Chain A
Amino acid sequence: MDGGRTFLAATVGPVLVALIVLCLAPLGVLLVVSFFRVDFVSIVPDPSLHNYAQVLSSGSYRYLIAKALMSGATIAAITAVIAYPVAFFIAKRIREVKAALLTALLIPLYTGDLVRIFAWRLILGREGVLNSFLIWTGAIDRPIETLLFSPTATTIVLVYNYLPFMVLGLWLSFETLDDHLFEAAADLGAGRTTILLRLVLPLTAPGLVAGALMVFALVVGDFITPQLIGGASGVTVISAIADLFGAAFDWPLGSAIAWTLLVAMVGVVAAVVVILGRTPWGSAAFGRG
């Protein structure tokens, strides 16, 4: 027993230390700083809730936080709709080239944010590929100005960026689904819609939740894409935090916004888990009997 405990300590210990140092410590520093205040160019350790009061009373910060959460949820929803058929196809209809397809799916992730974003600017820009093509076909006379630097453009590029995460989450769920379940449902009289609603959705819910959480967190944290693609609409809460840490040198306020955002995100995720956990789908997804 003692040997077992030593082994446990030896294996879990380093992981725990790494987790604390790498993940929790920086957040702790942010939390502490968020209660301080700035006096011209120095941070004064004079704890108060002043920064949080400022965040919550400011309409623009509240708007930016809400916009970030909405954006995360919207992109998660859009990627889910696109990823379902893709994941099903890769998991259940492809045999030989499965590994190749999955790799191809991940290739955009290897190229780096900026390269991808500038590629999209080439496609969506005023003299870009899409406008040129539409003019060439005669569909339009003058280039569409709003293709680039619009909320729509931001949405398109965010969906493109984070679709692979959703596909991977759902693909894993589909891979573990026994094909005989579909046959059994058909055998008992279920049509395609019933099979989709009563089997596929509940049984792939774990993958959907995993994919949605990844996409949600990544979209909320992405400020480069909105900034370079969204134009005037590209201000995000993250870019506001970055400004406060950089040019404005107000680390305490920046930290307070960061923590407010974090708490809001955890709140959204917890709400989703609780609501799903009460449905029969959810209890299948989270393994409760």
Chain B
Amino acid sequence: MAPGEGGQAPLLAGRGLHKRYGAVHAVRGVDISLSTDRYVTLLGPSGCGKTTILRMIGGFETVTAGVIALDGRPLLDTPPSRRPVNTVFQSYALFPHLNVADNVAFGLALRRLPRDEIARRVAEALQMVRMDSMGARRPRELSGGQQQRVALARAIVNRPRLLLLDEPLSALDRKMRKEMQIELKDLQRRLGLAFLHVTHDQEEAFALSDSIIVMNHGVIEQEGDPETIYRRPSNAYVADFIGGSNLVAGKVVACAGGEATLETAFGPARAPCAPGVAVGRRASLCLRPEQLVIGVGGSLGGTVRHTVFQGADWLVEVAAGSAALRVRCPDEEPPAVGGAVSLRYDPAKAWIADGALAGDA
């Protein structure tokens, strides 16, 4: 823990959050803590409970069990209209009968602020999202990216303590999504505002986040900065979901000083390991495609099954025993399909994560 961090109360603190819809247990005991000035993403596949958590904080979903506090004060008894948080909805939810400026002014007008102050703040917010020339347009006259910007302006103009973003970029095409990612991050830095962003796209999470919370089946699997999540996944689920690691399951036979030895189908493998890995437990050796090198004298051998051209490099799938290993090959010519290859990796850069995926031997 960094000095001073312990003493400071978090901006938002959720404890023991549960959500049940009838028989479905969507969120199962989540603790979440956000500090001011940080960009945090909730990352996970659809149905993992990430949007439910966002909607609980926004006030659009009741909480089956647990508490949420904002600035140290309980939040759950406050209706959404009085919570000092604002949301950017996935569908943008712009009011179709109001023009851009009136959409952005909606929240300020409800607070009965003086007209000139409303006009000034609306202009400021629109300028911040580079939509200052569009104030008189109707939402349906705007492109998806422009609607997204208006939705952002409409939320930040109220100067919330926390901005919630529910898959805000999912409706945009790839190029626009990349541009908006940069703008979102830039906006968050300039405003010095806490952003909580829900996404299923790991690239998006990496591009934006100071911290990523990986979720699965209603629980948090791991929380950390993007590099930690990518390089040191705590368990097999995170390793598989992030970065598409090759996972070689096995049994831990030795574990000391942050390193473990795993007995696998390819023989023993020794590498740094995640906390929680212990002798006798099942664990997975994580080898990301870019860590494997095709060459002679490697410890893994197999047959080339497919090669896929990816622009910058080739993705080569190698059948090794019962496993299929994906390898990034930077050469101009990929190895011939059907040929035997040998794979090697630097054990110091490999990683052993706790547990194994269901179905892995």
Contact = CB atoms under 8 A, between A and B. Distances in A.
Do A and B belong to a common assembly?
yes
Contacts of A203: 96-97
Nearest to B111: A189
Contact of B86 (A188, A280, A281, A284): A188
A184 B87 CA distance: 7
Contacts of B158: 188-189
Interface stretch (A3-11, A175-183, A214-222, A226-234): A175-183
Given A194-B110, A289-B138, A187 B87 contact: yes
A202 B96 CA distance: 10
B81 A199 contact: no
Nearest to B90: A180
A99 interface: no
Nearest to B160: A187
Which of B93, B141, B158 has the most chain A CB atoms inside 10 A of its CB? B93
Nearest to B85: A187
Contacts of A199: 95
Interface string B118-143: 00000000000000000001100100
A284 B96 contact: yes
Interface in B36-94: 58-60, 79-82, 85-87, 89-91, 93-94
B89 A189 contact: no
Interface string A190-229: 1100100001001100000000000000000000000000
Given A183-B89, A289-B138, A190 B95 contact: no
B98 interface: yes
A157 to B, nearest CB: 36
A276 interface: no
A190 to B, nearest CB: 6
Given A183-B60, A289-B138, A289-B141, A188 B106 contact: yes
Interface in A134-162: none
Contacts of B302: none
A269 interface: no
A189 B110 contact: yes
A104 interface: no
B151 to A, nearest CB: 8
A217 to B, nearest CB: 26
Contacts of A18: none
| Most B-side CB within 10 Å, residue of A180, A183, A189, A199 | A189
A181 B94 CA distance: 7
A270 interface: no
B81 A183 contact: no
Contacts of A235: none
A184 B55 CA distance: 12
A127 to B, nearest CB: 51
Contact of B93 (A180, A190, A289): A180
Given A183-B60, A203-B97, A289-B141, A190 B110 contact: yes
Given A188-B110, A188-B154, A289-B138, A183 B87 contact: yes
A283 B96 CA distance: 11
A96 to B, nearest CB: 14
A240 interface: no
Contacts of B111: 189
A199 B98 CA distance: 10
A282 to B, nearest CB: 10
Contacts of B89: 180, 183-184
B107 interface: yes
Contacts of B95: 181, 184-185, 199
Nearest to A194: B110
Contacts of A289: 137-138, 141
B138 A280 contact: no
A167 B79 CA distance: 31
B60 A178 contact: no
Given A178-B91, A188-B110, A189-B111, A183 B98 contact: no
A178 B93 contact: yes
Give the 8 A-B residue pairs with the shortest CB-CB distance, closest first: A284-B97, A188-B107, A184-B93, A180-B93, A186-B80, A189-B110, A189-B81, A187-B87
Given A183-B87, A186-B79, 20 more contacts: A178-B91, A181-B93, A183-B93, A184-B95, A185-B95, A186-B60, A187-B58, A187-B59, A187-B81, A187-B155, A188-B86, A188-B107, A188-B110, A188-B154, A189-B82, A189-B110, A191-B81, A281-B97, A283-B97, A284-B96
30 contacts: A178-B91, A180-B89, A180-B90, A180-B93, A181-B93, A183-B58, A183-B87, A184-B95, A184-B154, A185-B95, A186-B59, A186-B79, A187-B80, A187-B85, A187-B155, A188-B86, A188-B107, A188-B158, A189-B107, A190-B81, A191-B81, A194-B110, A203-B96, A203-B97, A280-B97, A280-B98, A281-B97, A283-B97, A284-B96, A289-B137
